[in-house]
Amino acid sequence: MDSQVLTDAQRLRSRADEALARAEQMNDPESRRAMLDIVAGYERLAQRAERQMRGDRSLLRVNEIVPRGTKPAWLPQRLAPRT
């Protein structure tokens, strides 16, 4: 089971990387923001999979919630939401 969860987390992070690469190419602010929301969703899912592997069954933690329009710590500066 642990190896499957780790594989799931890796797959989710790979999808996040792909979505991030697409976001870097987007010029339309709304499309870019939507793609970055998708990236954030994949990252949250990967974090949950990793917590599951460690045996932590808690739900989404407060420190993982990123308010709309703010920059998550893992998001490259060049892709931070424009204000």
Q: Which of 13-17, 31-35, 49-53, 58-62 has the lowest mean pLDDT?
A: 58-62
The confidence score (pLDDT) of residue 60 equals 47
pTM attached to this predicted model: 0.63
- Residue 40 contacts residue 23 (beta carbons within 8 Å): no
The confidence score (pLDDT) of residue 47 equals 87
Q: Using CA atoms, how far apart are residues 24 and 49, in angstroms rounded to an integer?
A: 26
Place of tokens 């709304």: 30
What is the tens place of the pLDDT at every residue in 50-79? 888 777 655 445 445 555 566 666 666 655
- Residue 51 contacts residue 18 (beta carbons within 8 Å): no
- Residue 18 contacts residue 71 (beta carbons within 8 Å): no
- Give the H or E element holding residue 73: none
